[in-house]
Amino acid sequence: MPVALVTGGSAGLGRALTRSLAEDGWRVVVDGRDPQRLASVADHPNVVAVRGDLVDEWHRGALCAAVDREGRLDLLVHNASTLGPTPLGRLDQAATEDLLDVWRTNLAAPHALTSDLLPALVAARGVLVSVSSDAAVEHYPTWGLYGASKAALDHLTLTFGEENPDLAAYAVDPGDMRTQMHQDAFPGEDISDRPLPESVVPRLRALIAARPPSGRYRAADVDVPALETVGA
């Protein structure tokens, strides 16, 4: 049985991907900070939920211990992230501590967790996925802290891939989605026209199954019929 770890798996794209993998026979270790949301995804027998915050070293240790108990790791998905202070503001108004808070969650924690789990992931010839954003390559007013952290995460992810040839490493821009994070970025606005995270999962699953060369991909550009090969 393949094993995945999906951070931030209690909401949004992480939750949708977790449910898809679990229903397809994967064992999925997930984490989240909100106990109620985490419980809502942990009701599946193939889901192992670990409550906590990725910036905490002890929590990352608990995730690694959960993976160790499963005996392997085929897929690591960095989905957990933070926008930083909301409403979003200009870069010249951001405090250094705001920058550090965003980078602790969006960059330092994924780097540390990947480093800890790298031996297991490489041993399984696994897949590393970091959920990116168009803000990593475009320059939107007020999105500077978040965009910079995602650009740096893209770089780290693909460097892990270069340094470990047996690993497939992908930075994936899922596009706009109807999630709480997206709503937080646009307070008071109607985001009902954005697609649900569930609509992105087939494209993400297709990318993982097809295993193209490591690189940065837009979910919208992934060939969905490749999903027919999913099942590993």
- Average pLDDT estimate for 118-127: 98
Q: What is the mean pLDDT of residues 208-225?
A: 92
Side-chain-side CA neighbours of residue 91 (13 Å): 9
Asked if residue 84 has pLDDT above 60, the reply is: yes
Instruction: Give the range of the structural domain holding residue 137, as residue numbers without chain letter.
Output: 3-229
Which candidate, 206, 105, 208, 214, places its Cα nearest to that of 157?
214
21-77: pLDDT as tens digits:
999 999 999 999 888 889 889 899 999 999 999 999 999 999 999 999 999 999 999
pLDDT at 226 over 50: no
Structural domain count, the chain = 1
* Residue 191 confidence (pLDDT) above 80: no
Neighbours of 216 (CB within 10 A): 17
Is residue 146 part of the annotated active site? The answer reads: yes
Residue 190 has pLDDT above 80, yes or no: no
> Range with the lowest mean pLDDT among 13-17, 48-52, 176-180, 199-203?
176-180
Give which of 64, 43, 63 is closest to 53, Cα–Cα: 63
Name the burial class of residue 89, with classes exposed (0-12), middle (13-18) and buried (19+) by CB atoms within 10 angstroms of its CB: middle
Q: Over 60: is that where the pLDDT of 183 sits? A: no
Categorize the per-residue pLDDT at 201 as very low, low, confident or very high, splitting at 50, 70 and 90: very high
Is 199 a residue whose pLDDT tops 90? no
Give pLDDT, residue 143.
85
pLDDT confidence bin for 227, thresholds 50/70/90: very low
The CATH number for 162's domain is 3.40.50.720
**Active-site residue (options: 140, 146, 170, 217):** 146
Q: Which two tokens stand for residue 127?
A: 């897949």
